[in-house]
Structure formats: structure tokens, C-alpha cells
Structure 1
Amino acid sequence: MRKAGEYVPRRADQLVLDALTDTRVVVINGARQVGKSTLAELVLRNSGDGVARFLDDPVIRAAAAEDPVRFIRHDGLMLIDEVQRVPDLWLAIKNLVDREPRPGRFLLTGSARLLALRSLPDALPGRSETIELWPLSQGEIDGSDDGFVDAAFALGGDLRSDSIGLRRKDYLDRATRGGYPEAVRRETPRRRQRFFEGYVADLIARDVKQVAHIEQASDMRRLLSLLAGQTAGLLNLSRLASEMSVSAPTVRSYVNILETVFLVRSIPAWSANVTTRAVATPKLVFVDSGLAHSLTGSLSDGPVGGLLENFVLSELARQLTWAQTSARLFHYRDRDQFEVDGVLEDNAGRVIGVEVKAAETVRADDFRGLKLLQRRLGARFRAGFVLYAGSESLSFGPGLTCLPISALWTTSASGEKHES
């Protein structure tokens, strides 16, 4: 068990180090309070020759805005934290790295999707690499493998996972805890709730106003509550607009803002030529399931399935940032009501289907959507998995397997079983 305040190694640590060896500007992007600054400072200390500038400090921010060219002059690695606060720094950095194109010049952090901000004067195409940092994964918290995505593509339906003894209540406890380091450290649900309340208030007061002018902060809070009440549901702009008494374009702009500040993520609908009946509506998940739960405050029968689905999909999205397999995450639903909660497709067009069940048992009918994709895709369909709150790994036919949800973080990238 790690001591309070002890640094939790991140999968992104090595990604940042690797990028700095051959890239001029490395950006660590992600939500507030996920550990961007901590990771960046650790990398800077290990570099042995660097300087840090923190733009949350008003004096440092004023100096950067007054003379951005002089501000960035340094021979070693320079860390600039919360770089989006001074947009003029981007042009100064671009000009400097164009004149002196050696790798490892700048390590930047930001709490919004930087290239989506209209205030930034220019991107850094060909000069930068962005590494996205999420809240802690379950594997980072437990010190386990986090290798499901790679193992699923490598082994297909042959993938199996040993139970670690978790049941439905244990998975719900993990989902409601979430992965923000500060929330993980707090020992009681009440203390975590206090963290989440302050986090949302601070985010709306600072980051949301930085991205766009919002006259009614209460509208954003209302939208967050509505979205949390239907976690991992399809994005229905018309219904949300009606409930909020605003226009659908306004809701769309608000959702875009929430994506920009890393509160929610849109999962696009998956379709292919052989599945032309797919519904194009995206699914919306919260970046952190604990935050989503904090906005509803209950675990009635309705939200439980959506909360666990959000939990699983966000764990998959985390893994895609470090997996060796280059793949994207989608969902599938057609007009005949066949659906698959998560669809992973790699660059070769191979598909992994993932269905999430909050129950501790699995039925053959739970594979209904997966079997449809298997029939239509043929050899492209690598495997289909039902991840559930039970403990057994069982085959339900060629390429179709049920696994405990814990397989997400206890499976190694090769699928090998490790002794605990």
C-alpha cells in the first residue's frame, strides 16, 4: 500500500521521456488535478538541466505576457505549466524551435484541449507531440498491468483472466471513487464528495470562462447534472435543450466546452460498409466516473448500468493512450436496437467488441450485439467480450468470451498470467 502523498507512477511517464528524445515541444494535456504538473516536474528534475515557469503565478504570467521572447530563453529543457494562460507564448516558442530545431526544448502542460482554444494564435504542426493524461487508471492505482487492449487484439477470443475476488459492490465502489489522485487519497465517500463539489465549482469559475463567455454558470451546472443522470448515453441535443429551455445549438456549444476542459468525452458511432444501419449519434461519457456519480448522488437501479459502462469505457480510453496497438474507441447501435457498448478498431480494420453488464451472471442473450457484428464482419471481427461483475472467464462460442471487469487492469499486454 502506498503512503499518503507518495507519487503514483504513471503510464505516461515513459511516453513523455521518449517524446523528448526526438521532439522539440512536448505537451502534457489533460484535466485539472490529474497530475500533469507533478509528472512534468519529475521529468524536469530527472533531466538535470532545466527551468520551470508556472503561469498560475500572476507575477510570472505578467512577465510572460510582457516579453514572451525573453521569457522562453534557456539552454536546457524549459517547463511551462498552464501554457494556455499566455497565448502569445505559442508564437515565440514556434519561432525559437524553428531557428534551433533540437529535441527536448519545451515541456508544456495545459488544462484544456489547447489546439481547440480560439485564443491560441498558431499550432505547432510537425514540431510538437501531445500526450494526454487522464485521471489514474485502476492499474496505476493497484500497481497492476493495464494491458487488456493489447492482449485482446493479440489473443482474440482466447484471452482469459483470473478473478481477483471483486463483486458488483466492489466495482461500484471503484467507479464512484474515480481516478482523480486527490479523490483516491480521501478515505470516505463524504470527503470525496467535498472534493468533487469544489472541483466542479473551480472548473466552471476558471477554465470554462477561459474557453468561452458563459453568462449563466447555472446552465452549465444544470447540463452537467443532466448528462450525469444518463451516463454513457447517446447525446440527444433536442431533449437536453428542452429540459434546459435553451436552443439545441447552445447545448451543443456547452458540450463542446465541457469536452475542451476534459470533463466529458464524445465516443463516435461506429459504422462500416457492411453495417450501414448504424445510428450516427455519438455517446457521451464522463472522463471520470467518480465525478459523474458525484453529480447525481445516488446509485438507484437506473444509473448503475450507465455508471459501470462509463467506468469501463473510460478505462479503455485511458489504455489507448499507451497501448502498443493503435486503435480507436467507438460504440455501435443500429435502428433494429442491436448495440455494442464499446467497439475498438485498429489500423488494420480489426474489431474488438466490448459489452458491459452490471450483473454477476452472464446470459447468452448478452452477446446479441456482439454476434451481429461477428456475422457481418467475418474475419475482421477479432473477438467479442462481455465484461461483467462476476468472477468467471468463460467461452460463449468461437471468438466470444465473458470476463470479469477486472480483466481490464489485471491482464498483461501479452495476456500472460502473473503471480500476485
Structure 2
Amino acid sequence: MNLIKRHIYGEALETARQFRAVCIVGPRQSGKTTLSQLVFGKKTYFNFEDPDVEAEALQTKSFLQNLKEGAVLDEVQRVPTLFRYLQSRLDASSKRGQFILTGSNNFLLQEQIAQSLAGRVGYLELLPLSYAELKEAKMDGPVAHHIFTGGYPEIWQQKLSVSKWMAAYIQTYIQRDVRLIRNINNLPAFTRFVRLCAGYAGQLVNKDALAKSTGVDAKTIQAWLGLLESSYIIYLLQPYHENLNKRIVKSPKLYFCDTGLLCYLLGFSSQRALVNSTKYGALFENWVITEIRKKPF
């Protein structure tokens, strides 16, 4: 299996030369682990989704003391106590690029870093594969194919069934990731809400309409939108207006971070069905927005 070169590679090296630690955030399965091991392969690797590794890390002080050369700490938001000890460890040495932190939940990571590691950590965001990255790997094809497939590396590299992969992805997200971030008791309502959001792709967010269709109140919808955005399922594009107050008051537009996931939630079973659909324009718009977000400036 050939690895697809990510455009963020050089930026990751430069960030490691500037900061004592590097934090790579992005959606689950976007390639954060592969990137961190490729760029920082000489460092010891720990995945905190492994229960044994997580239990070992809970003995935080002794765990960090044994890592003389630093380490790659994957899904580090699962061990929040680690950040306080990591602060003193980074303050004890001015060496750059000591620890590489990765996580699939931006909210939890930002909260912990803001409290303990502000000014010590450089941030990188790794989104699914861009059209340009696939084109360089000679795997691009028609735009409609990229919209339908999305950009998750595993699907492209192993030529997997998009619908089966996406079904497992959304189930894992709802059953595991959502519960880690927020205690949601009504998972069926939340699942319905995620699918309803797919129907709003490329449109202004109407919280009242979403609340009515989901069967919850508007405050819950607001919280759930924040949850989807912090875990890289959706992206809320804030309005631009010369009047700053209007920017704050006006509703944002809703986009999905991956069009393959969006197509799955909308029920498209083939690329042909997608192209012939009246929703193709909105999906193309969503794709353009995600490509702009992935482009380094």
C-alpha cells in the first residue's frame, strides 16, 4: 500500500522546530497517526484508545518521566490529567518538538491546552485528502467521484466500499466519540439530528426548524451543532458583513467536512445517482468549501 503524500508534511516539520510540542487535530481517520509516525517516526508511539496504554498513562508522573526523548501521544484528550504534568515537563527543557499530540476532538484538546499548555504548543489541522493530494498520487478521477467517495485515506488506499465504511464510521462516532464529549441520553434523536443536518448542507442554519424536526429544544440544537463542529463532522461558515454586529447576529451556513460522509447520510448509493440528483449543486458547493479549507495559505 503506497502512502499518499500530505501537503502538511513540511508544515509539521517547521512547527516542530518552532514549538516544544506539536498538536495535530482533525477528524477521526483523516491520517493523523500516519502523519505523526511518518514525520516523527523515531519517537515512541502511544495510542490512548488502547485500554492498557490509557491505564498506564493514568500513572501520569511516572509515565512521563520514562519518556526522556518525548513521544507521540495519540488521542491524548482521553487522558486529561496528562496535560498538567506535561506543562512542567515542557517548561523544564527548551528543546523543540519534544511531544507530538494528536486528537480527533478539537473542543477537548483546546480546553486542555488553553488551561495548561498555552504558548508551548503549535497547532496543525489535518483534514481528509484534498483533490490536489489525490491528483499528485494519480488517484483523482472526475470531481463527482471525489465528491461521492470523500477524502478519507483508508477508502482510497484500500479501495473499500464507501457505504460500508461510512456506516461503520458514523456508528463509531455516535456510540463512542459523542459519549466521550457529552453525555447524550437520547442517541436516536441525536442520530436523527445528524441526518437532518445533511439536508441543510450549503444552507443557512435554521435552529428552530432543526429543533422541531428532531424533537428537542433550540438550546440542545445549539449544543449539538457545537459538538458536530468540534469533532469535525460539520463546518459552520460564519457570514461576512462590513457591520461586525451583523456578522455575529446572522446565521452561518452549514457544510460537512467530508462530502463522502454527506453523500452517505443523504442516502446516495452510487455516483450516477448523485450526479442526477437535484442536490448535486449543494454537494458541489460543499466540496468547493472543503477544498478551500484544505488548501494551505
TM-score of the alignment, normalized to the shorter chain, above 0.5: yes
| 8 Å CA contact retained: 1:270, 1:278 | no
| 8 Å CA contact retained: 1:29, 1:114 | no
Could you say which residue in structure 2 is the equivalent of 1:25?
21
| 8 Å CA contact retained: 2:238, 2:247 | no
Could you say which residue in structure 2 is the equivalent of 1:71?
63
Displacement after TM superposition at 1:75 (Å): 2.6
Task: Classify the secondary structure of the residue corresponding to 1:72.
Answer: helix
Q: Does 1:181 align with 2:153?
A: yes
Could you say which residue in structure 2 is the equivalent of 1:87?
80
Counterpart of 1:215, as a letter, is: N
The CA distance in 1 between the partners of 2:146 and 2:62, in whole Å, is: 47
Task: Classify the secondary structure of the residue corresponding to 1:107.
Answer: strand
Q: 1:171 aligns with which of 129, 132, 143?
A: 143
Could you say which residue in structure 2 is the equivalent of 1:355?
none
Displacement after TM superposition at 1:116 (Å): 6.0
1:34-49 matched pairs, under 5 angstroms: 34-45=30-41, 48=42
1:317-366, Cα deviation, whole Å (9 max, x unpaired) = 111xx22xxxxxxxxxxxxxxxxxxxxxxxxxxxxxxxxxxxxxxxxxxx
Task: Classify the secondary structure of the residue corresponding to 2:235.
Answer: strand
Displacement after TM superposition at 1:123 (Å): 3.9
- What is the TM-score with the length of structure 1 in the denominator? 0.65
The CA distance in 2 between the partners of 1:101 and 1:277, in whole Å, is: 41
Q: Does 1:133 align with 2:130?
A: no
Deviant stretches of 4+, over 4 Å: 114-121, 273-279
The CA distance in 1 between the partners of 2:49 and 2:75, in whole Å, is: 7
Question: After the TM superposition, which of the residue ranges 117-126 and 77-86 deviates more from structure 2?
Answer: 117-126
Q: 1:54 aligns with which of 30, 34, 47?
A: 47
Counterpart of 1:180, as a letter, is: Y
| 8 Å CA contact retained: 1:115, 1:123 | no
Any unmatched runs of 5+ in structure 1?
145-163, 324-420
1:246–1:7 Cα change, 3 Å: same
The CA distance in 2 between the partners of 1:90 and 1:198, in whole Å, is: 31
Q: Does 1:318 align with 2:294?
A: yes
Task: Classify the secondary structure of the residue corresponding to 2:44.
Answer: strand
Could you say which residue in structure 2 is the equivalent of 1:212?
182
Displacement after TM superposition at 1:69 (Å): 1.6
Two-structure CA RMSD over aligned residues (Å) = 2.4
Could you say which residue in structure 2 is the equivalent of 1:379?
none
1:211–1:172 Cα change, 3 Å: same
Higher Rg of the two aligned structures: 1
1:75-101, Cα deviation, whole Å (9 max, x unpaired) = 323111110110001111111111222
Counterpart of 2:154, as a letter, is: E
| 8 Å CA contact retained: 1:72, 1:78 | no
The CA distance in 2 between the partners of 1:235 and 1:108, in whole Å, is: 33
Q: Higher helix share goes to which structure?
A: 2
Could you say which residue in structure 1 is the equivalent of 2:271?
none
Displacement after TM superposition at 1:62 (Å): 0.3
The CA distance in 2 between the partners of 1:99 and 1:275, in whole Å, is: 44
| 8 Å CA contact retained: 1:23, 1:129 | yes
Could you say which residue in structure 1 is the equivalent of 2:278?
302
Task: Classify the secondary structure of the residue corresponding to 2:24.
Answer: strand
Could you say which residue in structure 2 is the equivalent of 1:200?
170
Percent identical: 30
| 8 Å CA contact retained: 2:73, 2:100 | yes
Displacement after TM superposition at 1:44 (Å): 2.0
1:105–1:114 Cα change, 3 Å: farther
| 8 Å CA contact retained: 1:44, 1:77 | no
Q: 1:99 aligns with which of 64, 74, 92?
A: 92
Displacement after TM superposition at 1:122 (Å): 2.3
Displacement after TM superposition at 1:302 (Å): 3.0
Could you say which residue in structure 2 is the equivalent of 1:262?
232
Number of aligned residue pairs: 288
Could you say which residue in structure 2 is the equivalent of 1:248?
218
Counterpart of 2:143, as a letter, is: Y
